[in-house]
Every structure is written in C-alpha cells, then in structure tokens.
Structure 1
C-alpha cells in the first residue's frame, strides 16, 4: 500500500509539472512567434511530450490563454459565498464579480501582453463564452440568497445573474473596441463603472 500511495503521488506531481511546462512553453512561444504561428506540436515539443499528451491536458491551444471555465467560476462562487448575507442580491453578485475579476483579468493581461489582434480576439471570445455558460449556475447561487418568500424568485434570480454577467460581457467588448483606437484601462475600474450604470438603469 505505501508503494502504491507513493506511485500515485509521483504520478500526480508529474501531471502538475507537465501542465506547468505546457503553459510556460505556450506563453513563451506565443510571445516569440505569435499565436497563429505557434502550433500544438510546437508547444508539446517545448514541454517534451507528445501531441496526444497535450490533448490530455488542454482541448486546444486557445485553452492555454485563460483558466478553464470551472476555475473562473470557482473564483466567482467563492467570492459570492463570502459576501454578507444581508447584502442586496444585485450588489452581492456585482461585488463578487469584481472581487473575482483580478485572478482571471491577470491571465487575460498576460495573454494580451503580445500586441497581436488574433490573441485579443480569442481571449475576448473565450471570456464571453465562459460568462454565457455561467448564467444558469450563477442564477442558482443568487436564488439561494433571496428570501424564501420572494415573489417570482426564480425569475428575479435569473434577471440579476444575467444582468450582471451581461455587464461583464459589455465591458469585454467595449475594451476590445477601445483598444483598437488606443490604450485603455484593463483593471476592474471599467467593470465597476459598468455596474454603476446597471444599478442606475430606470432611476430618475
């Protein structure tokens, strides 16, 4: 049994190391050659593994640009769970997304450090898709925060979740459009302004 445990531990460490080498190799190759010119075979060779092994870790080279959807949503879920129980649901979701923005924004900025439009396009598309995939899961989390006697609680939860995620998607698209005409801020400040706009909709 001890030998089996040791073998399992070694296998897991090797997986972690292989993943790290693939990520580091991809980042280096993307900077040196550009995203389009870098192939999966190049990345695999840099990590001294086969292409087949590469696909055991990542579904495509695009997947190397950002954490996967599960990881991104985990940031959001943990941040929302930490919000005060008496906080307004929309404020709680918006603040949770703000708190969670830093980890995946850092990954985005790393990917965008190379001034190639193709990388910007892929990163934006993946983030937008990731947030679209979150809608049902975030709706369920918001529903738990609503008082039990909330009228149309399922609808209110869906509206809050979808509105907050739509604000994030709007920020991503706006940043991309602004970047085409010059430097723009990439931190959470733009997201905060978007949430203020959202809260102000319909207010005289």
Structure 2
C-alpha cells in the first residue's frame, strides 16, 4: 500500500528539484548575460529540459527572477500565523520577518541571496513585478495581523501601517547590505534588524482600543 505514496513523493521531489534548478540556472544566466538578454530557451537548455517543460513551472522569466522573493513571502506569512496567540503585533511580525530572513539566507547563501536582490534593484523590467509582489504579501500580512487581533483592516489602518513600516525597514536594511563589503548572515540580520527598529521606534508593543491611535 505504500508504493503509490512513495511514487507520489518521488514525483513531488523531482518536480521541486527541477523548479529549483530552473531558478538557479535563470539567476546564473541573468547575472552573466543580463536579464534582458537571457531567453527562456537558454534557461531551459541549462537544465536540459524543453521550453514546454519550463512553462509547466513558470509563466515567464520574470517569475524565475522573483521566485525566491515569492518563496520568502510565503515563509513570512506562515511564520506570522504560527506566532503565539496574544503576542503583540510588532513583536510577532518582527520575529517572523527576521526568522525567515535567516532561514532564507542560510538556505541560499547570503551572497546568492543578495545577488537576487541586486538583480531586481538594477533591472527596471523587474521593479514593477517586484512592487506587485511586495504589495501582495503586505496585503496578506495585513489580513493576518488584523485576524490575530480581531480588527477590521478596512476600518482600522494600524495593521496596514505596521506592515508597511516593517517592510520599509526590511527593504532599506537589504539595500544597505548590498553595499556592505561583508557577506555573512549575521551582518545582514544586524542591518535589517537595526533598520526595522529605527522604522518602528516609538510604536507601542500593544495597541489600545481606539483605532485612531496606537
């Protein structure tokens, strides 16, 4: 009875490996040849799959370039949902972001993680897609913060403002890290944590009942 399950797990792992290989190949080609000059055919060929197979995983090469960011977004949303009930909003979101940043950097390596960030910031064609991705995850996090604290995000602006401020700190911290000569996880976490703390300085850990003030 275990064979079908085993085969299903094998297929899933193979698909995950192919997806990861396409991302890695795409990022390497973008770095070597430039984003605009790289074709989908070249990415597929680097992994020894057909363009048709490529499109089973990604709709465009933009999706390849932004895939790591999308994975990070999913991890942060899940991490926030897993934070202890009753934890203050800022504490929960801060821990979720910093914890998943460490996990992502440990998994991909800081140098590769930052190469992806640098690719996006210096490629105009990717900036719009990255802004859409950021807006989407901020909306998801806003909804989760609101749910955890029993407020209506359409009336109470605090969840949306909090997420926007924390993600502004994350973005600024990563930009600072891209310009930093050190390439280690601890330095990246230090810069991002400092940036988030500066961005959120003065915000209380717990909110009052009046939605017009913290």
TM-score (structure 2 length as normaliser) = 0.67
Is 1:66–1:104's contact at 8 Å kept on the other side of the alignment?
Answer: no
Aligned residues: 195
**Correspondence for 1:110:** 112
**Correspondence for 1:26:** 26
Q: State the alpha-carbon separation in 2 of the partners of residues 198 and 25 from structure 1.
A: 36
Is 1:62–1:122's contact at 8 Å kept on the other side of the alignment?
Answer: no
Q: State the alpha-carbon separation in 2 of the partners of residues 69 and 113 from structure 1.
A: 12
**Correspondence for 1:138:** 141
Q: For the structure 1 residues 120 and 161, does the alpha-carbon distance in structure 2 shift closer, same or farther, using more than 3 Å as the test?
A: closer
**Correspondence for 2:189:** 188
Q: State the alpha-carbon separation in 2 of the partners of residues 174 and 97 from structure 1.
A: 17
Is 2:166–2:200's contact at 8 Å kept on the other side of the alignment?
Answer: no
**Structure 1 spans left out of the alignment, 5+ residues:** none
Is 2:76–2:96's contact at 8 Å kept on the other side of the alignment?
Answer: yes
Give the alignment's Cα RMSD to 1 decimal: 3.9
TM-score (structure 1 length as normaliser) = 0.70
Is 1:128–1:172's contact at 8 Å kept on the other side of the alignment?
Answer: no
Residue 34 of structure 1 deviates from its aligned partner by: 4.9
* Aligned: 1:166 with 2:164: no
**Correspondence for 2:79:** 79
Please, which moves more after superposition, 100-109 or 45-54?
Answer: 100-109
**Structure 2 spans left out of the alignment, 5+ residues:** 205-214
